[in-house]
Structure 1
């Protein structure tokens, strides 16, 4: 079954004891009763007694009452108040803006309490929430809005600046939250004030109805909209809840999140790690969420200590920076330092344990297409196998390694395939890409290369896609190349990953100028940044004196170009 997690920090728990406890919960606790359901023509193991929609899960979370939930600077919101505001906004979206079940409503803002409330409110209307990347610029936001078909967008001040000039062109209604600005049709605060209904709208939502479209970059030029369903998200959240319940039982009633659980939110909510693993899971299990306005490692440690937080979840570069920034007092309340979005260097795992004492490093593997569900690993297991991403999350997830149409034995490398009710329904408006990614019997082909060891621990060793993962952000090489070619002086361009100890990978660019053109790499970088989000802009630029090498197919030989480039100093390094 799933992750082997120790009762203490030193020795892994006996797998037989873990399996017995899990079996006991599955058979005795009706919350986790597993049955079978047909989803899009295939049968899956499902939680039989799960609520029909996320609205039911929100109502359960609201039962934590007046306990603190969202903490942002000097602001505090309880679980009950958060749900109450979400219901009020949901009713206002329906009555004032005419939002109907199945409509698309986009969120374009940085991490604020209003983001969380708006997310819940859109879902409560029966509409589909579309969290857009808050680092995107105007053209990127326009693409996402046009692709998903949203006509209502809830924005902060910066995103209002981008969208107000094209509001009429796209036929948008803009709701401005928190900030001041010109060009919005409604104020978030006014919608809350005018709505007096604290109950969720009466909407008949089916478990397999769409609830969210989250955009992820792949090997194609434009981000793809990943369509997620209510059942998919609930399956992931309840699976994580199941693991927590198993461990609590094994520890004699002591929860893995601590006696007064709290987690730092220092990653974007528009990614499933932020929205699912931190925000939604916390609302379900009664965990406080302290939100950061902007990432700063020293401030992160200060907030953890001030709020006595027990959990941290972030990309590997963040926990690495926290090791450098933490003072002599450490973070004594911290119990777990989780990682997602990218693989941690093995040495970081050991150093984190040394630096933070009783806080144990942990990691997970999941994708937007799986509602972030896949594998988990922590504590002594992770220290023993820092290169592994863990075992499949029980009790609904199956993972296999495939190559040339055949499942691979232990130790053999192949593509990682995942099957569970948490899998996405498809890519929005992309039937061909959906057919390529999902098999007829429901397996999702991740594009990641991996292998299992004898104890069913998964190791991700490479990926098949032309993709850069910089600090947890997926970057399409093709998208960056397309922008580079818009510069008048570029004849040839190849974008590739540059290894980096902190961020995992950075964006590299090798280019060959047009005849007679002189390329200033700093000027080129500024040109690229005019249209692309900062995290996509090349940080290492090489200018080749000769045409870039090609394969026999006339395609660029990216492997050779990358190898040669990394052997020479770049013309620009930022």
Structure 2
């Protein structure tokens, strides 16, 4: 094992020893034995109390708004009181949050979870049809929305019996008594204390929807313990790394920690490793209205940002913009990625070209973003690896098709065991039983562990596409295409893309004598699919699609044929949603 890994593991062992801040102990959770953090807060409501210790230090920056840690805490407490007294939100109730990133999103999540209710963050790109599914499945009857999501949810209000809380810059003109103004609710009970409801560590805290390999998205149910275990693991890793760095020579004092929020809060990277972790470590969080590399450079300069984390597209576009900019980016120290694999060449560019510390995390919604981590010199030396298992309560194993453990270097399915793991899928016991077995989450990813215990990912079992960090179910897209009555057969798969990692592609065979234009088909799909799910590449086949010996559509062969054709440079249509493929 190399020297860097030895130092990291030794430092972690010091911080987790008996009597140390991150001491671990065995505990059974729902009948499964885990190692857990002895000194972890019992729930998120208790964790939010740390805001008071940071007092008037700036926490949130969004456009012209600035909120201190204390202001954030006080406003969340007041909103929780209004939700309880005026909206009747009780422990265990599901409350949906359907907004773009903004301070109201964060205040809503804090208020809901402090009440012991269950936050249901929804994908802000979802259509009305997708939102309807999530609201019906979760049973949420209170929905916090911005104006754009209001327009999509409002038609569902009567049918689903929804009470809507509108976070908008201008007061609503709606006369509906079941539409509440966010600002009005938040200001009704100034000075209210945080709720005193009893919240156990293993009570449900959130439902996050994730696209798997089949049908509708599944609601991943996490507990307070699950999220807090992830936060504790990241703080531990940071403390261990800082202890190692303190032993090395340093030429200048470190900048105050400031993170730039470039990813959606409805994903675990945004909600956990950026928003909630910033509360724990007292880090300023600078929120963007939407991703724009030039605006990111301006914010890094103005707010002295030290840390950026996002899908690989974010870091690549940020560096591209930085090369052409004269802005002062000297505060920036770390450039992390999550949600998709980062090409090794990007790692070299970050470290050598910009002298920044690169890092990458591997985790899933079902593991509350915990899995493996690779950073610093180890990442530079092994850029193809996703790193060592997250400290100190996470285990990773590789299994074969029969469930037997595989040896070092052998490829199989990656399984993760951790108290960070979700407790299962909402209203889906069959999927829960298949994916969560004896405390191990079966990821559907194929990988191997090397002699240093570092994990590499080589493939996926699940039929999903990861476009810019967003999981897309191929079967969901295929089902939407089949709603066109003229379609006989369709195969949906991924194609590589320099900017987004992967894009959605579809090869379609029409019924005999039938025809549909690409424009008409795309318009049809946009009615039921979020824009990022609509195929960017569509090809119509003159003959029935290739099939396997078992008469299944042979996607792998179809994909290989498309890639070969693209490499040979024919005139193949790529739609405007992802025009970067057109240059190939």
Q: Same fold (TM over 0.5)?
A: yes
Counterpart of 2:88 in structure 1 is 98
Q: Are 1:414 and 2:412 matched, yes or no?
A: yes
Counterpart of 1:280 in structure 2 is 276
Encode CA deviations 1:442-500: one digit per residue, 9 max, x unaligned.
Answer: 11100000011111110010000000000000000011111111113211111000011
- The correspondence of residues 167-566 of structure 1 with structure 2, limited to 5 A, is 167-180=157-170, 181=172, 182=174, 185-252=179-246, 258-326=254-322, 327-329=325-327, 331-357=329-355, 359-403=356-400, 404-439=402-437, 441-566=438-563
SS for the counterpart of 2:233 is: helix
Aligned partners of 1:232 and 1:371 also within 8 Å: yes
Encode CA deviations 1:489-515: one digit per residue, 9 max, x unaligned.
Answer: 211111000011221100000001122
Shift of 1:23: 2.4
Q: Which moved more, 1:58-67 or 1:381-390?
A: 58-67
Aligned partners of 1:90 and 1:201 also within 8 Å: yes
Q: Which moved more, 1:96-105 or 1:182-191?
A: 182-191
SS for the counterpart of 1:407 is: coil
Encode CA deviations 1:157-213: one digit per residue, 9 max, x unaligned.
Answer: 011111112101000000001344435621111111111343211111110000000
**C-alpha distance in 1 between matches for 2:407 and 2:30:** 29
**C-alpha distance in 1 between matches for 2:413 and 2:17:** 34
TM-score (normalizing by structure 1) = 0.95
SS for the counterpart of 1:259 is: coil
Aligned partners of 1:258 and 1:335 also within 8 Å: no
Q: Which of 123, 128, 139 matches 2:118?
A: 128
Q: Which of 47, 50, 53 matches 1:57?
A: 47
**C-alpha distance in 2 between matches for 1:22 and 1:423:** 21
SS for the counterpart of 1:110 is: coil
Shift of 1:253: 8.5
Shift of 1:530: 2.1
**C-alpha distance in 2 between matches for 1:83 and 1:257:** 30
Counterpart of 1:84 in structure 2 is 74
Q: Which moved more, 1:402-411 or 1:268-277?
A: 402-411
**C-alpha distance in 1 between matches for 2:10 and 2:541:** 61
Q: How many residues align?
A: 562
Gaps spanning 5+ residues in structure 2: where? 577-584
Q: Which of 14, 18, 26 matches 2:8?
A: 18
| Compared CA separation, residues 28 and 406, structure 1 to 2 (3 A) | closer
Shift of 1:50: 1.2
SS for the counterpart of 2:299 is: helix
SS for the counterpart of 1:450 is: strand
**C-alpha distance in 2 between matches for 1:14 and 1:302:** 35
TM-score (normalizing by structure 2) = 0.93
Shift of 1:79: 0.7
Aligned partners of 2:4 and 2:377 also within 8 Å: no
